[in-house]
Chain A
Amino acid sequence: MRAGLFICWALALSQPIFASLEVWIEKPRSAKMVSGVVEIVARAAGDEEVAVVKFIVDGVEVGEITRSPFAIKVDVGDENKEHEFRVIARSVVGTTATSIVVTPALAVDDSLEIELQQLYVTVTEADRRVLDLESDDFRIFDDGVQQTIVTFESGEVPLTAAVLLDCSLSMKGDRLAAALHGAKVFLRGMNSLDRAMIMLFSDRLLRQTEFTEDQETLSGAVTDVAAAGGTSINDHLFMALSRLETEQGRRVVVLFSDGSDVQSVLPMAEVLQKSRRSQALIYWIQLREPGESDVPSYTTPWRDVEANREEFRTLKETVVESGGRIEAAESIDALDEAFAGILSELREQYVLGYYPSHAVGDGSWHDVKVRIQKRGSVRTREGYIDY
């Protein structure tokens, strides 16, 4: 919303002020945040010949150009803050024209330009999370090229979660009751700025709420639930990722399921593509029997053993690539802890933002690596599709 208002303002100010001499800023002119070296490009036109164009950034004159092209580069620094770019053109007869563009600082919950990549980073050392890192401790590499970190947040960053619960017949009884209880633990642990939606599914959508922070609505959705039907993880994961796209800020899917997909119309590979275009973290709480193999060895009416294994592998890949993780729960008693553990991890993440230096919007896959200067191991999404 804030970004939208800004666009109107910026566009209005960059329109010509005097008909005899017009000047406007071509770059930067969108609502996106800028940092580092910024190229300022101005155009001037009118009845009168331009004598000079002055460039002023944040109230400080940074240069002037007397002939076209009216472009200079200036380093505005890496700090996440608002910048004002002002260009004043003066004609040979003394007429002046001014154009102003203000670029915003970014807050984590802002509506973001698609180019900004946000990484939710979990740092652990010996199974404990490392919580005292600063922006300078991180290095981001996008396809091997180090990037400039333009936003940095840690601690209690609000989140929007889609909580997906598998209510298929195999969950009947204690399993479902424990899953619903675990979901309630998750919901109760949410902060006042957090939002969530509940999606109960089997082979079809059973119940769904809107995204809301209202605990009553959310808790009500995980009450009085009966198990029914088969399992379609892929379809509902796709639906959740799609619905999360309408939300802002940090987006998370928490999937609870005891089994593999059987009845989905979408192959998991298609959901993986969706996930790569999304910035949502996916956590999968997988209820399985103690000692149960992690590799499917069964056929279904829709897939043979190898195809089922491929689906399963791709689901795991999707989860890991998103920067989330698989929480294997070998007992229904472990479910509360599993749900609470995910929420705790989300509370203790770092949020890093950067503009990819070589984004071209060609739909290609970008590998992302985050390294830290200090101790600990890092987990974050493994990449994204460049749109």
Chain B
Amino acid sequence: MKHEPIYLSSRSRRRAAAAVGIFALMAIGPGGKVEAASLKPPEIKAKYREVLATLATGDLDRAVADLIDFETSVVGEEQPWLRIESFWRIKLRALRDLLKADTLDLLRPVIVLHSEAYFTYSEERRRFMAGHSRLMASELAEIYGFRANSRDAKVFSGQVLTNFGVVLWSPTNIVQSSDLFLRATGADPGNTLALLGLGTAYEHAGNYERAIHYLSAVLKLEGKNQLASLRLALCQLRASEDYLLEATQSLENLSQSDAPEWIRSIAYQELARIEIESGDLDTAEALLQMGLQSLPGDQQLSVQLGSVLDLERRPKETIQVLDAIPADGWNRPSPRQIYSTWEPIGVEETRAELRIEMESGLDALRTALGSLVGEETPQ
């Protein structure tokens, strides 16, 4: 089966160029001062094939080590951005040669190779090369997901892209992650972690309707996802009164569920908030008392109850409630802080899964490399 050669889409080219520009502004990590070797493109391509040959034996760790040595020798450690773009093109040409001969599944181990190189570079704090590896792996994963046209390929692609999104996730910087999550859901619309990440990112950006779209999608696939349920209810409350009944029902369910304490606390808080805003202080008080019975010592429930009692002109009880709050919260983040700083997890588990899943592409890689033996390396 023949495939079209791999070319970077114009969007990818822009992204790659932008990445070169961005990375050029970054300080590179500590390390030796390996100077770039003055290799010709055919030599670079040949050396890259050698790394791929090592990978084809199934020895991923050695292949990663070889790749890093090879890349370092080509671009050097001083100002690697000066040579990275041409290096990037040569590697893609080498892969294009391989794809003339075989199935796209050979990309599986190649994607994992570059993904693992990303983690190694990151550990070594070589941020520029880490960024390059991530870009290489994510571009190949996207191409594989879209062109391989199989469910397995799409899931694999989604996993790779999502894992990078997870790694890059930060509550204060969600742009890069969101882009990766979006591409992951483009490859695999059933990737619930990417959908949850997108919903959360849109919520953080204040775009509640988009957040509702993605969080609803999570719940269609995983009806018992309590975090998605909480986020959806909160986004609904902020988006429109039309969602009030649905959101209230979800919060009531969560408050009575076996969800983590911080989720139940927020459910009680938000239910009470609904009642306060409707002027029903008695019901708000009852909800908060119920919440505190279930979650004794919860500061945010106590403060909210104190405020309700104060609004009811019961100052002595307000003070009693507030006085009961322990002043030792150093190691106990509040429920709303946990909600604010939620980070997706599972990076290591996904890496382990991908290492196993890449094996189904090793045969194809070996075959493709074999078909090139004796073939003159094109310029």
Task: Indicate whether A321 reaches chain B with its CB closer than 8 angstroms.
Answer: no
Q: Restricting to A225-262, which residues have a CB under 8 Å from any CB of B?
A: 226, 228-230, 232, 235, 238-239, 242-243, 245-246, 262
- Among B77-85, B133-141, B326-334, the stretch that binds chain A is B326-334
Instruction: Enumerate chain B residues within 8 angstroms of A228, measured Cβ to Cβ.
Output: 330
Contact of B203 among A208, A265, A301 (CB under 8 A): A301
Residues of A within 8 A of B328 (CB): 205-207
- CB distance A301 to B340 under 8 Å? yes
| Interface pair A301/B204, CB less than 8 Å apart | yes
- Decide yes or no whether A18 CB sits under 8 A from chain B: no
Interface membership of A274, Cβ < 8 A: yes
B319 & A206 in contact (Cβ 8 Å cutoff): no
User: Interface readout for A342-366 with B: 1 if CB under 8 Å, 0 if not?
Assistant: 0000000000000000000000000
Q: Is the CB of B334 within 8 A of A203?
A: yes
User: How distant is the Cα of A325 from the Cα of B87 in the complex, in angstroms?
Assistant: 60
Interface size on B, residues (CB 8 A): 38
- A266 touching B206, Cβ below 8 Å: no
Counting contact residues on chain A (CB < 8 A from B), the size range is 35 or more
Interface membership of B101, Cβ < 8 A: no
Whether A230 and B303, one on each chain, are in contact in the complex, defined by CB atoms closer than 8 angstroms, is no
Binding site for A on B (CB under 8 A): 171, 200, 203-206, 208, 238, 269, 273, 299-301, 303-304, 306-307, 310-311, 313, 315, 318-319, 322, 325-330, 332-334, 336-337, 339-341
The answer for the CA separation of A229 and B335 in the assembled complex, in Å, is 11
CB pair B337 A205 closer than 8 Å: no
Known contacts A230-B337, A299-B206; A204/B332 CB under 8 A: yes
**Closest residue on chain A to residue B172 by CB atoms:** A298
- A residues near B326, Cβ cutoff 8 Å: 205
Nearest-neighbour CB distance to chain A for B206, whole angstroms, equals: 3
Separation of A206 and B238 alpha carbons in the complex (Å): 30
Q: Which residue of A lies closest to B171 (CB)?
A: A301
CB distance from B112 to the nearest CB of A (A): 33
Evaluate contact between B299 and A204: CB separation under 8 angstroms.
Answer: yes
Asked if A62 is at the interface of the complex by the 8 Å CB criterion, the answer is no
Are A242 and B319 closer than 8 Å at their CB atoms? Answer: yes
Q: Which of A206, A245, A263 has the most CB of B within 10 A?
A: A263
CB distance from B318 to the nearest CB of A (A): 6
Closest to B266 in A: A265
Does A78 interact with chain B (Cβ within 8 Å)? no
The reply to whether A270 and B336 contact each other, CB–CB distance below 8 Å, is no
A204–B329 CA distance with the chains assembled, in angstroms: 6
Chain A residues near B339 (CB, 8 Å)? 301
